[in-house]
Structure 1
Amino acid sequence: MPTSSSTRSSAMASKGRPRESPARLPSSLQAARPTLALDVPTGVNATTGEVSTPAIRACTTLMLDLPKRGVLELGARHHTGELFLADIGIPRSVHERLGVSIPGVFSEGPIVRLRR
């Protein structure tokens, strides 16, 4: 479906690793328009930051709930762009049961800028 949007999003359910071969990924993913990556840019490993081929070069990445270690790695920086963290409503008690401490991370609002 054609769109007049000047941006696009990368929101593939792949934990950052494309499951398809490069030839099967849509060519629009590498188009010249700015890209918003949701959680982790496609092609960036969420844990290690290793960048595979193909990989999206997002101008902005909106991580969901908690920062992903790989997105914060220096090697992933050219693919993540500006970083934001979004509160998606997971109760603090869930994080506490998992041993994750996030005191006050969303005290300024539901979306926090981590890096320009």
Structure 2
Amino acid sequence: MPAASTLSEENVPLASVAVKAMAGEGGFAQEECERLELCVVEAITNVIQHAYQGAAGHPVTLAVAVTSEELELRLHDDGAPMPDGMLERPQGNTLVLAWRLPR
């Protein structure tokens, strides 16, 4: 089930709880859902702090797709890119993170 939303800093807690709920409905264990929730908070906060230098009012888009086998997060921003070599981002300012359900 794909879902996308453009977020502001005040929406970070809501986004993280939504991802946690989607992961739970997708079959992830409670502990994994909590890790995903924290990951979303940290990732969006890092975009705001580093890509936008803490300035409010800039878009951060979070897209979530859950299948029976994995959860994928795509986080996109229009801010400053990461320094060269810091993290390979072949899709520009879109960071893709994926978790697979343990079998």
Give your verdict on TM over 0.5.
no
When normalised by structure 2's length, the TM-score is: 0.26
When normalised by structure 1's length, the TM-score is: 0.24
Larger radius of gyration: 1
Which of 1 and 2 has higher RCO (CA within 8 Å, sep 6+)?
A: 2
Which one has a larger percent helix, Structure 1 or Structure 2? 2
